[in-house]
Amino acid sequence: MMYKGQPASPGIIIGKIFVISKDIKFSKSEKIKASNVENEIKRLKQAIEKTKQDVLLIKEKIISDIGNKDAEIFDAYILFLNDRSFVEKISKIIREENVSVEYALQKLLEDYIKLFNNISNSYLKEKIVDIKSLFEKIAKNLSEESSELFPKKGKWVIVAQELSPADTAEMDKKNILGFITETGGVTSHTAIVARSLEIPAVVGLKNITQQVKKGDLVIMDGEKGIVIINPDTNTLEAYKKERLKYLIKIKLLKKLKKLDAVTLDKHKIILNSNIEFPEEVAVAKEHNADGIGLVRTEFIYINRTNLPTEEEQFLIYKSIVEKMAPKPVTIRTLDIGGDKFLPYFKISPEQNPFLGLRSIRLSLSNPSIFKTQLRAILRASAFGNVKIMFPMISTIEEFIEAKNIVNEVMEDLKKKKISFDEKINIGIMIEVPSAVIMAEELAKKADFFSIGTNDLIQYTLAVDRGNPNVAAYYNPLNPAVLRMIKKTVESAHKNFKHVSVCGEMAGEPHLAFLLLGLGVDELSVSPASILQVKRLIRNINFRDAFEVAETVLKFEKTEDIKEFILTRIKSYLLNK
């Protein structure tokens, strides 16, 4: 059976499927024989013991992966699991009502939900999410079929409805060959994480979790978005050859590691890396990136129960900055909202979160969180070359307000004689059409621009970047998008400011070629894309890129633009 989804992270793999099912089945058959009561209680105790071990492992893993010593929720889980009255409450339901442990668990959970619904303190009320998650872990451990939510040994291709940032942090990456998800587009969280970890992924494959079971053999081509379940021998053999070719290509790419991103006509292109997790700094360095063009600081805020302190943030930023010094590191302030949420910082429900209180808007409406982050970034700026970048600026006022807050924080640091880079560059992400339209005015006030094409495409074309139903409309080569980029570059250059592109578009070689032709000064791509973009740069003439961009800017249709560029690119890379 062959399926076609969105190609989210390249690579060809052949492996076995592991389905992650979040909807835990509590028991349908409630009644048990009286003689089975003690056995049910024994099952309960075993499941609790197993859950305790799981929780401890997850806690250790999160601490070592994210460096977050504050994985407190897991301590709370352990306390809960060790609480004798918890076991007694469930045992009592089993004994008195002659019901299965699954049924008793569900009943107790419902009681908790009712109880929490009556709590008025919204912070406490949210805690029910954690309790539910713990109950799910216990229920999963009761099931004989599979006691694992995520694989703990072996190598698997993960199939899931969707994967949250917390899920991907919790999984042990050494057990993962690939990701296949039902939701998500090329710029969804799963796709970005997969690319940064160099794990092949196909997303947006509706209902795939219903079509497969654990252990099914799967072929997956992350570059073409192809997924083949239980292939016949001929297909399998053909893909084994494809996989070999792919591995050779990767091996050749690795030879470019130490080389510079210079065009045939000797034009040096600034090729930076985005980072999503601190561990990626090492890959960026290994691939000789010119700097970090985007630090997505969200990783510091997720998978914990409270906000990170200034000191915690400072230590993380400082470590990245010192490792990269003297190369620049552009730190983006918190970009929460849209499809990224914090469990402990809830905003009131919104009909359109992507148009809601997200990103810089959230920072400006929570100045103390914003100031804590800015103090940490500014303090880290004393240890290398740091730039600050604000996401999703949509008005001049917003930028002025954000900069004023930076100035306030700077004044305070000066008073306290804490050192920082007083000349630090402050730039903005261009992600909203209004920012493009006001780009000339913004360029007078900002030190640099970085175009976030993931969002700019979604807002320009009114296409949700994570919705597979409209994925066909989400096209970086749409002429409207190209004209937006062109206008941004012209406005910045008129004011002698640099423009970078840090959206996923910059990591696709043929699109990177076009971006250079549109006059973009720097590219910032995921660590996994550095080498393929470098390969392209080393095989083109800079002036050809301009000529191609000039031609396609006159085209009206996306397809015409795509065809023209791909034909040109093929001729450059032929036999390379």
Report, in Å, the least distance between residue 35 CB and Mg ion: 60
Is residue 203 a contact partner of residue 186, using CB atoms and an 8 Å limit? yes
Report, in Å, the least distance between residue 129 CB and ligand PEP: 24
Helix axes 84-97, 72-82, angle to 10 degrees: 50
Distance CA 352, CA 148 (A): 34
What does 200 bind: Mg ion, ligand PEP, none (CB cut-off 5 to 8 Å by kind)? none
Residue of 292, 388, 502, 549 that binds ligand PEP (CB under 6 A): 502
Taking residues 277 to 296 in sequence order and writing x for each that binds ligand PEP by CB under 6 A, - otherwise, the string is: -----------------x-x
Distance CA 331, CA 297 (A): 7
Within 112-232, strands assigned E span: 156-160, 176-181, 201-203, 217-221, 226-229
Distance CA 71, CA 69 (A): 6
> Total number of residues binding ligand PEP (CB under 6 A)?
11
Rounded to the nearest angstrom, the gap between the alpha carbon of residue 454 and the centroid of all alpha carbons in its chain is 12
Report, in Å, the least distance between residue 357 CB and Mg ion: 15
Catalytic residue among 287, 498, 502, 510, which? 502
**Binding status of residue 466 toward ligand PEP by CB under 6 A:** no
Residue of 335, 398, 421, 508 that binds ligand PEP (CB under 6 A): 335
Q: In the complex with ligand PEP, which residue's Cβ is closer, 329 or 502?
A: 502
Q: In the complex with ligand PEP, which residue's Cβ is closer, 335 or 544?
A: 335
502 is catalytic: yes
**Binding status of residue 188 toward ligand PEP by CB under 6 A:** no
Show Cβ contacts of residue 193 under 8 Å, excluding neighbours closer than 6 positions: 163, 165, 168, 276
Name the phi and psi angles at 503, rounded to 5: -75, 170
Return residues touching Mg ion (CB under 5 A). 431, 452, 455
Within 393-521, strands assigned E span: 425-430, 448-451, 498-501
Report, in Å, the least distance between residue 319 CB and Mg ion: 24
Residue among 377, 18, 438 nearest 216 (CA):
18
Stretch that binds ligand PEP, among 110-118, 258-266, 447-455, 542-550 (CB under 6 A): 447-455
Distance CA 111, CA 400 (A): 50
**Binding status of residue 522 toward ligand PEP by CB under 6 A:** no
Taking residues 42 to 81 in sequence order and writing x for each that binds ligand PEP by CB under 6 A, - otherwise, the string is: ----------------------------------------
Distance CA 191, CA 465 (A): 11
**Binding status of residue 398 toward ligand PEP by CB under 6 A:** no
**Binding status of residue 195 toward ligand PEP by CB under 6 A:** no
Q: In the complex with ligand PEP, which residue's Cβ is closer, 77 or 301?
A: 301
Residue of 54, 167, 398, 431 that binds ligand PEP (CB under 6 A): 431
In the block, which residue shows the tokens 């040109």?
568
287 is catalytic: no
Q: CA distances (Å), 535 to each of 75, 256, 285, 499, 563, in order? A: 48, 7, 17, 22, 21
Residue among 91, 98, 105 nearest 33 (CA):
98
Residues of this chain that interact with ligand PEP (CB under 6 A) are 187, 294, 296, 335, 431, 452-455, 502-503
What are the residue numbers of the active site? 189, 502
